[in-house]
Structure 1
Amino acid sequence: MKIIIINGPNLNLLGKREPEIYGNSSFENYFSELQFRFKEVQLEYFQSNIEGEIISKLQEVGFSYDGVVLNAAAYTHTSVGIGDAVKAIETPVVEVHISNTFKREDYRHISYISPVAKGVILGFGLLGYELAIRSFLKD
């Protein structure tokens, strides 16, 4: 099984940025834990602060991978293009958010990805990525 985690803008600052919301661990450290925990899965990781690069990566993997775990971060609430890319590909996508976006600003209650995603996981911190991976293993 081949799954990619795609993270959007500012998630490269995990462990440094707003630790009260996002925690103290870098994503790279957490990704190593996921690779150890899910040895039977070929896990890949991609992060970009650039909307077009996220769309290009979705198109690149969207017909050959078994799953995409997508945290588009702020682009979730603004990018029709990322939503359209998720809709256009065959690979199922699980939308993940570290924080509970419904406890935050009103504009974060809108997602252009949720309507075309396999499912949405939010508010469980980094555990959301593990839950998303497990959802693909159950299929």
Structure 2
Amino acid sequence: MPTVLVLNGPNLNLLGTREPVHYGSQTLTDVEELCREVGHDVGVDVDFLQSSHEGVLIDRIHAAGAEHRSGSLLGAVFNPGAFAHTSVALHDAIVAVEFPVVEVHVSNIYQREPFRQHSYVAPAAVGIVIGLGTAGYQWAIRALVAKEGHWQ
């Protein structure tokens, strides 16, 4: 069974308690359970990682590139959190490994502070799900499965 990688960046471990007006009350554990349920429904395994360390995320993206080339990894759903607005290195890592990444943001970044309205990750992603709460993760997984092999 192919795998979808779900990556989460800094502060997402605080979902459910951090600024619930923006991020809701669901926890990262709830998100992981949702992703695994959706994965089961659409026939993929889900590998889940959260890190507040940019290098850990980059290393996992690099490893995922080899998994994608071997056919075991379909792509990734990535909520880079604040790194979306600061990390050229994450952009470069995604471009380097050449596999589909769907960027996810729980809140609508375009309704937030101006510094949050730009993503360095977005140009490297095949798609973006923004502002649909934690449900955005499920739509990103479904998109990866539906378009498997058809990303350009």
Secondary structure, counterpart of 1:63 in structure 2: helix
Count of residues in correspondence between the two structures: 139
Using structure 1 for the length normalisation, give the TM-score. 0.96
Structure 1 residue ranges, 4+ long, deviating more than 6 angstroms after superposition = none
Task: Tell me the alpha carbon deviations over residues 62-113 of structure 1, each in whole angstroms, 9 at most, x when there is no partner.
Answer: 2312110001000000000000001111221000000000000111111111
1:42 corresponds to: 45
2:88 corresponds to: 80
Secondary structure, counterpart of 2:66 in structure 1: coil
Structure 2 regions of 5+ residues with no counterpart? 68-72, 148-152
Find out whether 1:96 has 2:104 as its counterpart.
yes
Secondary structure, counterpart of 1:25 in structure 2: coil
2:7 corresponds to: 6
Secondary structure, counterpart of 1:44 in structure 2: strand
**Shift of residue 30 of structure 1?**
2.5
1:31 corresponds to: 32
Find out whether 1:56 has 2:33 as its counterpart.
no
**Shift of residue 116 of structure 1?**
1.2
1:138 corresponds to: 146
Using structure 2 for the length normalisation, give the TM-score. 0.88
Aligned mates of 2:31, 2:88 — CA distance in 1: 29
1:70 corresponds to: 78
Report the identity percentage: 40
2:150 corresponds to: none
**Shift of residue 23 of structure 1?**
1.1
2:70 corresponds to: none
Secondary structure, counterpart of 1:70 in structure 2: strand
Query: What is the aligned-residue RMSD (CA, Å)?
Result: 1.0
Task: Tell me the alpha carbon deviations over residues 10-43 of structure 1, each in whole angstroms, 9 at most, x when there is no partner.
Answer: 0000011111111111111231133123212110
Find out whether 1:125 has 2:133 as its counterpart.
yes
Structure 1 regions of 5+ residues with no counterpart? none
Q: Which amino acid aligns with 1:45?
A: F
